[in-house]
Amino acid sequence: MKVTLQLKLLPTPDQYAALLKTMQVFNDACNFIAEVAYRE
């Protein structure tokens, strides 16, 4: 069974900045992994 939850975050400005940075670092890591996988 697949369950989906939709929610709305209401971060403070500091939390927003931290979430944005986390997403950017995660995206960079995924791009790196994709490059390695493609090369190998």
3 within domain boundaries: no
Can you list the alpha helix ranges (DSSP code H) found in the chain? 13-39
30 within domain boundaries: yes
21 within domain boundaries: yes
What's the total number of domains in the chain? Answer: 1
24 within domain boundaries: yes
Q: Which pTM was predicted?
A: 0.69
20 within domain boundaries: yes
2 within domain boundaries: no
CA-to-CA distance for 28 and 20, rounded, in angstroms? Answer: 12
pLDDT of 11 reads 97
4 within domain boundaries: no
- Domain range for 18 is 11-39
Q: What confidence tens digit (pLDDT) does each residue in 9-27 have?
A: 999 999 999 999 999 999 9
